[in-house]
C-alpha cells in the first residue's frame, strides 16, 4: 500500500501539449478547458457559477485590486487580490477594457462585491487545476 502511494506521487509530468491548451482556455474562458476536454456539463456549470459570481461582484460595485507598494501587509493583500481578479480571464479583461474601475468605497455591500470578484478568480483557478488533472489523465 505504501509503494502504491509512492508511485502515485512520483508520476512523471505529462507532455505540455497535452494539458497547456485546456489550462490556457480554462483561464481565458471559465469552464473553457472542460469544454475542450468534452466535459460539457462540468464546463457549463463552471461557466455559469464563475460568471454569475463575477457579475454579482460587479453589481455590488466591488473594487478591482491594483498592486500597491507600501508596508508588507498592504503589498500582499493588494497583489493577492490583483492576481485573484486576473484569474477570471476574459471577464477581468473585458471589465478593464470597458473602463470598470470602481473606487473602493466604505460599506459592507461594496466590500462583499470586492470579495465576490476575487473569489470568482480563485474558483477559476480550481477549475484550471481540475482541467489539468483531467487532461493529464489523473482524473476521470
Tens of pLDDT, residues 23-53: 999 999 999 999 999 999 999 999 999 999 9
* Full DSSP string of 16-35: HHHHHHHHHHHHHSTTHHHH
How high is the pLDDT of residue 30? 94
Measured in whole angstroms, the distance separating CA 135 from the mean position of its chain's CA atoms is 18
Residues 113, 20: contact at Cβ < 8 Å? no
Predicted confidence (pLDDT) per residue in 62-109, tens digit: 888 888 888 888 888 888 889 999 999 999 999 988 888 776 667 778
Band of residue 54 on the pLDDT scale cut at 50, 70, 90: very high
pTM of the model: 0.83
For residue 70 the three cell numbers come to: 507600501
Cβ contact 56:88 at 8 Å: no
Amino acid at each position: 500500500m505504501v509503494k502504491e502511494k509512492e508511485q502515485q506521487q512520483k508520476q512523471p509530468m505529462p507532455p505540455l501539449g497535452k494539458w497547456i491548451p485546456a489550462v490556457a482556455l480554462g483561464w481565458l474562458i471559465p469552464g473553457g478547458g472542460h469544454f475542450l476536454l468534452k466535459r460539457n456539463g462540468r464546463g457549463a456549470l463552471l461557466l455559469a457559477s464563475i460568471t454569475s459570481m463575477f457579475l454579482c461582484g460587479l453589481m455590488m460595485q466591488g473594487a478591482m485590486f491594483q498592486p500597491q507598494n507600501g508596508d508588507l501587509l498592504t503589498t500582499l493583500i493588494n497583489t493577492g487580490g490583483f492576481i485573484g481578479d486576473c484569474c477570471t480571464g476574459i471577464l477581468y479583461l473585458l471589465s478593464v477594457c470597458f473602463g470598470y474601475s470602481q473606487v473602493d468605497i466604505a460599506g459592507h455591500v461594496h466590500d462583499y462585491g470586492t470579495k465576490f470578484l476575487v473569489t470568482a478568480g480563485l474558483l477559476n483557478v480550481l477549475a484550471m487545476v481540475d482541467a489539468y488533472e483531467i487532461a493529464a489523465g489523473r482524473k476521470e
